[in-house]
Amino acid sequence: MPDLQPIDGDALESLMLAVAGLGVLLLLGVLLRAVVPVLRRFFIPAALVGGVIGLMFGPYALDVIPDSITSTWSGIAGILITVVFAPMLMGERLPKVKDAAKEAAPHVFYSYFSSFATVAVPALLTVFLFTPLFGTTPLFSTIFEVSWPGGHGTAAGMEEAYTALGWADGSSVALGSATAGLIFGIVAGMIMINIAARKGQLANYTGGSAKAASDVLPESEAHVESRGRLQRASLDNLAFHASLVAVAIIIGFVLKHFVDMVITGVPLFPLAMIGGLVVHLVIVRTPAQELVDKATLNSIAGVALDFLVVSAVASLSLPVLIANWQALTITLVAMAILSVAIFYWIGPRIFGKDWVENSIVNFGAMTGVVSIGLVLLRAADPNFKTGAFRGFALRAPFASPFVGGGLVTAMFPIAVANWGNLAVGIGCAVLCTLLIGVAMATGIWKRPAARER
């Protein structure tokens, strides 16, 4: 079990002030989005804007915010990812495999193929180029699967794992990569949507969704974030759902204790997600299942994710990024080319009708997490009239817990540490080839001309 340390009042007060500082940065991000239309036009989230502000005023730039605060922010980021992942599988109505397979299969294929390719290319570059020329650590190859589809949350959550494997700077490099991937995904995605629109490849594109609308919704579009069915005299609805998340995290701690006996370096957050699944499987067999509200769980995860992103970006270690700039720049360019190539080569072959809409949501998820994929899909298909949204949503139970920031993603650094980049790179390339073979055998993969017929 973890070695628990007592926290005195002074430490808790420092933590409270650090979290309050993150709240200030988030509000500044919201205000900047309100007055700078370009931030809304390119869908830059307020949490990322606030994080950049915190980085500018931190010890590596203007040196206004002390190092003690940014160090606390760095630690907070690694903790909050567990809160984000713990409720992921709670409150979900898991679809039957047979019912969901046909519609979700192409999206599942895209997710696994892109994830294995995101590991294979950097692994082979690292073993043949970066390590011999720049002395880059072998673990460098794993940050792109962690940071592009995994995003800032997974990048921050992997700090403990990278430290345990002997590369304490890994999380900082991954956070820098996540920022680059998010910006690239948004900009390149909007360019590809506009190209497709000019070619007449989009079914429901209006061109209006890419404009910089206000962040403030009209009254008619206001949404309810939570629905409670528990009497407040018993327990507040938010407290009830937060308690479910807490139980999932405790189960994750117990699982980690046993996993560490076999494999060291596995982070807590994917195990907390499994803990959430255990809570879900227990509670659906009781009358209490009627009290569980997925929207409330999503709100808890959303709050944790916003604070996570702003804290992770604000505490970035710029010297670490500068020290790895050669390998980072080369691989970011290679990843950008790879993601666009997968979009144009894989997309038309695995998706029949509306291949651009189906591919763009996966492109966004590959480069800048699921939320960016949905932003791009909303731009290409404003009212979700195609089947892209449903297929992408159905893929979640089969892909999200494993690749793109899930359990398999967390295992890649351990695999590289044990077997090396050459074996992992070749292995992932072989898996990509096998996936294409399976897709051909099952009829998922067809030539674009055959799709049109």
349-392 per-position pLDDT tens digit: 998 778 999 999 899 889 977 767 877 887 788 766 787 877 87
Within 8 A by CB and 6+ apart from 366, the residues are 110, 114, 115, 118, 148, 149, 185, 339, 342, 373, 404
Give the 3-state secondary structure of residue 304. helix
For 147, the token pair is 């940071």
Based on DSSP, count helices (H) and strands (E) in the chain, helices before strands. 19, 0
Provide DSSP, 159-179. HHHHHHTT-TTHHHHHHHHHH
CA dist 402 and 114 (Å) reads 13
CA dist 275 and 271 (Å) reads 6
**Look-up of token digits 């962690």:** 146
pLDDT per position as a tens digit, 134-161 = 999 999 999 999 989 888 778 877 888 8
For 65, the token pair is 């915010």
pTM, full prediction: 0.72
Exposed (0-12), middle (13-18) or buried (19+): which is 57, by Cβ within 10 Å?
middle
pLDDT per position as a tens digit, 37-62 = 888 777 677 888 898 899 899 888 88
Within 8 A by CB and 6+ apart from 149, the residues are 111, 114, 115, 118, 365, 366, 367, 369, 403, 404, 405, 409
CA dist 427 and 79 (Å) reads 32
What is the average pLDDT across 283-301? 89
**Alpha carbon 379 to chain centroid distance?**
20
